[in-house]
Amino acid sequence: MLRHPISTARFFTLAGVITALALPPDTSALAQQTRGGVTDPIGVIRIPKGAPVTIGGYWVISGPDTALGTDSMRGTKVALADAGNKIDGHPINFVVEDDACSAEGGQTAATKLASIPNMVIVLGPACSSAATPAAPILWQAGIADVSNAASAPSLTAPDRKPEYDGFLRTIPSDLGQGKADATWLYTKLGARTVVAIHDGSPYAQQLAAVMAKNFTELGGKVLSTEAVAPTDVDMHPVLTRIATEKPDAIYMPIFIAAAAQLLRQSKDIPGLQKTALIGGGSLMAPEFIQAAGPSVVGFRICYPDVSPEARGKGYPALVAEYTKMFGEAPISGYHANAYDAAEIAIKAIEKVAKTGPDGALYIGRKALRDAAFQSSFDGDSGPIRCGEHGDCSTFKPAVYEFVSDDPTTFKVGTNPKRIFP
């Protein structure tokens, strides 16, 4: 059983399979159905007696940012194990696709998942780059998407387009992260001038913009905003240009490969010796320590507070189960959010599923989406209270500092250690 009680309420739903198309969302493809006395506005899944309940997942599970996705997938697997890998007596079939933390990968992963007959709900991703194209593809097929780490503000903005109506997340929006980062840079670090660097991804670009706006409102000055590609190797030109501006800090919420190149090569640039380089949550991984080498010592990242005291009461049990199941402690900071995303999915299915006279399980698409958006429980990552636009958690700021360049010493709270608050 999951650590948080599941509602035993049931509602009649409908059966059917909706085919996903790799095209812009067209809600006209989703029609009201009535079958077996059950009606749902956009269709229903019928799972035959004894057949599995299929739950999808998509994360980055290859490349330099693998730790983000692997940690998320593992947190999900712990949640499924806690549920006995069953829902209403039906075994769970967990299907995972690699999104490579990219728009192309997200589109491909979502298209594959949406094409699977009787796909009930999808979990993930870790990257906003993947979620931005994937969520509309999934919702076009009537499949809700519960992300654990895609934090771009646009994904849950009040004015988001209808094709994102099926997307919700257990990670806070970067509106909170950007504001907190600006406040820390200005009031704690004492920076008055900043250069922001993004890599063109929705996550980095939107987070850099939110930080810049809030930093300016505090009285600071954003000297420039630079862009690099995730695959850039020679960072000397952009760093040399930044050095002429003499910023107090460089704010770079980008991913591992490019961030490591910037950090290492900044040591070669005259004029940056006193400039603080500050990263983001995508760097909370042992792979970053390995990629950055000795330059990582003293490097700080702004990140949600994931200390045990900031987590839910069930978090220690999650860590123990994770360690036992995978033979090592958590390798990034999103496993608890993933556990809670899986719990949202399982509880929502349990709430709306109806076993018919034929022994089949009926799950309404719209009913399931609405049940997920009504989720409210004390999660392992903290309180889960989903709002109408899909934000289910509140932001708690923190800053972490790497203290060793040995990747084997990676442990959230130890290396990097929390230095704020």
Q: What is the CATH number of the domain that holds 188?
A: 3.40.50.2300
- Where do we find the tokens 């504001």? 179
Shared domain for 291 and 374, answered yes or no, is no
Paired with 33 in beta bridges are 40
Let me know if residue 155 belongs to a domain: yes
Residue 213 in any domain: the answer is yes
Nearest to 45 by CA among 14, 76, 80, 91: 14
Say if residue 38 is in the same domain as residue 148.
Answer: yes
Residue 416 has pLDDT above 80, yes or no: yes
7's CB contacts (< 8 A; 6+ apart) are: 347, 350, 351
Q: How confident is the model at residue 19 (pLDDT cuts 50, 70, 90)?
A: very low
Distance CA 192, CA 49 (A): 64
Residue 14 is predicted with a pLDDT of: 25
- Choose between 37 and 253: higher pLDDT: 253
416 cis-preceded (ω within 30 degrees of 0): yes
End-to-end C-alpha distance for the chain, whole angstroms: 35
Residue 304 scores a pLDDT above 90: yes
Directed axis angle between helix 174-183 and helix 202-217, to 10°? 40
Pairing of strands 354-355, 119-123: unpaired
Contact 195, 223 (CB under 8 A): yes
Residues 258 and 153 both lie in one domain: no
Say if strands 90-98 and 53-59 run parallel, antiparallel, or are unpaired.
parallel
Nearest to 35 by CA among 10, 9, 12: 12
Q: Is the pLDDT of residue 2 over 90?
A: no
**Position 33 pLDDT exceeds 60:** yes
C-alpha–C-alpha distance, residues 296 and 372, integer Å: 40
Q: What is the DSSP string of 90-135?
A: EEEEEEEEE-TTSHHHHHHHHHHHHTSTTEEEEE--S-HHHHHHHH
Asked if residue 62 belongs to a domain, the reply is yes
179-197 pLDDT, tens per residue?
999 999 999 999 999 999 9
| 276 and 361 together in one domain | no
323 in a structural domain: no
**Higher pLDDT pick, 27 / 286:** 286
Residue-wise DSSP of 165-220: TTEEESSPPHHHHHHHHHHIIIIIS--SEEEEEE-SSHHHHHHHHHHHHHHHHTT-
Shared domain for 142 and 62, answered yes or no, is: yes
Q: Name the band, by pLDDT with cuts 50, 70 and 90, for residue 22.
A: very low
Residues 143 and 84 in one domain: yes
> Contact 208/225 with Cβ under 8 angstroms?
yes
pTM of the model: 0.89
In a domain, 1, yes or no: no
How many structural domains comprise the chain?
Answer: 2
Residue 314 is assigned to a structural domain of this protein = no
The 3-state DSSP class for residue 307 equals coil
User: Does 361 lie in the same domain as 232?
Assistant: no
Shared domain check, 406 and 265: yes
Q: What residues make up the domain containing 37?
A: 27-171+334-390
Kindly provide the residue ranges of all beta strands, DSSP E only, lying in 244-347, ordered along the sequence: 249-252, 276-279, 300-304
H/E element, 341? helix 335-352
Radius of gyration of the chain (CA): 22
For residue 20, the model assigns a pLDDT of: 32
How large a percentage of the chain has pLDDT more than 90?
88
Are residues 367 and 408 located together in one domain of the fold? no
Sign of the torsion angle spanned by Cα atoms 52, 55, 56, 59: negative
Looking at this protein, which amino acid is placed at residue 164? Answer: Y
What pLDDT, on a 0 to 100 scale, did the predictor assign at position 307?
Answer: 87
Predicted local confidence at residue 9, as pLDDT:
30
pLDDT of amino acid 54: 98
189 and 159 share one domain: no
CB atoms near residue 83 (< 10 Å)? 20
245 part of a folded domain:
yes
For residues 319, 322, 327, 332, the Cα torsion angle rounded to the nearest 10 degrees is: -70
71-96 pLDDT, tens digit per residue, is 999 999 999 999 999 999 999 999 99
What does the alpha-carbon distance between residue 370 and residue 41 come to, in Å, rounded to a whole number?
Answer: 12
On whether residue 321 sits in a domain, the answer given is no
